[in-house]
Amino acid sequence: MMQPLVMRLRRFAVRLWEHKRLDWPLMSALMLLAGVGLITLYSAGDESMRLVVNQALRFLLGGALLLLISRISPRDLRTWTPWLYSFSVLLLVIVAIVGEGRGAYRWLDLGVVRFQPSELLKLTTPMMVAWYLHPRHLPPSWKHILGAAVLIGVPAGLIAEQPDLGTALLVGAAGTFVLFLSGMGWRRILFLLGLVLLAAPAAWPFLHDYQRQRVLTMLNPESDPLGAGWHIIQSKIAVGSGGFFGKGWQHGTQSHLEFLPEHTTDFVFAVFGEEFGLFGVLLLLGLYLFIVGRSLWIAAQARETYARLLAGSIGLSFFVYVVVNGGMITGLLPVVGVPLPLISYGGTSAVSLLAGFGVLMSIHAHRKMLK
């Protein structure tokens, strides 16, 4: 009885310490990004080392998690997937019950750490959809698309109820990308997309007042320049006044003089744009594009459906962060709380992102061992 378990543990330990586990191009890009994040944060946080140190500690924690997860084989991950998914959905339900009648309640306080269970779903939802689809005939049939939709809709709906539209969007996108990568037919995609567009006006009355306000504000920020439009106007001023080369590191007036709200978290991209200009923005977007591309390349190398779908979804989700955040700070999209990956100050998002890349690293490391 004990023998197989000990053997498995030994094999696990050996794998953990084997070399060449990591995809160094991707790893270097992530480290570069984290470095850029810390430098930007130092300026955005009014030259506060406290913010930088806190964020660096989170990067270390996330990095450790990345290394740890990269040692777990995708097959193990696949086996644990239903349990992980069920567990994280259960946490969501607990948060929903505990937070009854308290406005926006997202946190689970574990005494030592507080974390948002919704962050877990960013990873467990695509895992579950990939797990659900991997033994099926692909491209998926309507029946399986419906099944996947339920798996995506339950956590996304619970998160949207919190209400945290940004995270719900990211969770939904992560799951949907799995469907897309599984080869779901274009006609079906277009059909469902049309359905969503038609249904969108119907959803309007179900939105919270502040959410509706944000959409209206995006459409016309000057209607209330000192109130709801303030964020967008000041963010656009910050970005626009940066010009091509920017005002220079630590010389952003919009952030340092407090005109730009939340300039260390959701609006840190505006600080970056103000201080480093279009030149810096293009380099940063290039770096993001490289990370997405490299992730998709790793996914394409995988031999197994589950790993492939999961890796591809993680890469594409990463891009959603960038586009939604970038669209928000330039006034293209309404204000939703989506951070700029690895640059915005904030714990759970950085840790869960790095954990996701841990999965990618694992898939990369085990690409030849499966099958």
Partner 1 sequence: MALKSTRIKNEQLEAHLFRVRALTGFVLVAFALLVLAGRFFWLQIVQHDEYATRSTQNRVHLRRLPPPRGLIYDRNGVLLADNVPAFRLDVVPERVENMDEMLDQLGMIIPLSDQDIKDFRRSLKQHRAFQSVPLKLRLNEDEIDRFAINRWRFPGVDVVPYLSRNYPQGALFAHVVGHVGRISAEELKHVDPDRYDGTTHIGKTGIERYYESQLHGEPGYEVVEVNADQRVQRVLQTHPPVPGESLYLSIDARLQKAAYQAFQGQAGSAVAIDPRNGQVLAMVSVPSFDPNLFVGGISSTDYTQLLKDPEKPLLDRAIRGGYPPGSTVKPFIGLGGLELDFRKPSDTVMSTGVFYIPGQVRGYRDDQRNGAGRVDLVQAIEQSVNTYFYKLVYDMGIDKLSTWMAQFGFGKPTGIDLPGEAAGVLPSREWKRIHRNQPWFIGETVISGIGQGYWVVTPVQLASALATLADGGVPHRPHLLIATRKGIDGKRTPVKPPAPGKPIAHDPKDWQVVRQGMIAVVNGDKGTARGLGDGFPYVIAGKTGTAERYSRTTNAYEDRTNLEALARRHRALFEGYTPASDPRIAVAVVVEHGAWGGSVAAPIARKIFDAWLAEQPPGSLPPPTVPKKPDAASGGTP
Cβ nearer to partner 1, comparing 63 with 356: 356
Q: Indicate the Cα dihedral angle 324, 88, 108, 160, nearest 10°.
A: 40
Closest CA relative to residue 61, chosen from 265, 295, 350, 341: 350
Cβ nearer to partner 1, comparing 35 with 243: 243
Task: Report, in Å, the least distance between residue 22 CB and partner 1.
Answer: 21
The set of residues, in sequence order, having a beta carbon less than 8 Å from that of 305 and lying 6+ positions away, is 130, 133, 134, 138, 182
Q: Which residues bind partner 1 (CB under 8 A)?
A: 137-139, 177, 180-183, 234, 236-244, 253-254, 257-259, 273, 277-278, 281-282, 285, 288-289, 292-293, 296, 299-300, 303, 305, 308-309, 312, 316, 319, 322-323, 326-327, 330, 332
User: Least separation, in Å, of the C-beta of 90 and partner 1?
Assistant: 31
CB of 183 to partner 1, least distance (A): 4
Q: Which residue has the tokens 């910050």?
A: 238
Nearest to 243 by CA among 279, 217, 269, 284: 279
Minimum Å gap between C-beta 307 and partner 1 is 11
User: How far is 159 from 149, CA to CA, in rounded Å?
Assistant: 15
Question: What's the closest the beta carbon of residue 347 comes to partner 1, in angstroms?
Answer: 26
Q: Which residues contact 244 (CB under 8 A, 6 or more apart)?
A: 277, 278, 279
Q: How far is the CB of 190 from partner 1 (least distance, A)?
A: 14
* Minimum CB distance to partner 1, residue 286 (Å): 9
**How many residues would you count in the chain?**
371
- CA–CA gap between residue 292 and residue 357 (Å, rounded): 11
Crossing angle for the helix pair 165-181 and 305-329, to the nearest 10 degrees: 140
Name which of 18 and 46 has its Cβ closer to partner 1.
Answer: 46
Q: Please report how close the Cβ of residue 215 comes to partner 1 at its closest, in angstroms.
A: 18
User: Minimal distance in Å, beta carbon 89 to partner 1?
Assistant: 27
State in angstroms the smallest separation of the CB of 240 from partner 1: 3
Burial per residue of 335-369, b for 16 or more beta-carbon CB atoms within 10 angstroms, e otherwise: bbbbbbbbbbbbbbbbbbbbbbbbbbbbbbbbbee
Q: How far apart are CA 274 and CA 243, in angstroms?
A: 8
The burial class, CB within 10 Å (0-12 / 13-18 / 19+), for 209 is exposed
133 versus 159: smaller Cβ distance to partner 1: 133
Both tokens assigned to 78: 């696949």
Query: Of 59 and 132, which CB lies nearer to partner 1 in the complex structure?
Result: 132
Which residue lies nearer to partner 1 by CB, 59 or 288?
288
Q: How many CB atoms lie within 10 A of CB 73?
A: 18
Of the pair 12, 279, the CB lying nearest partner 1 is at 279
Beta carbon nearer to partner 1, 91 or 284: 284
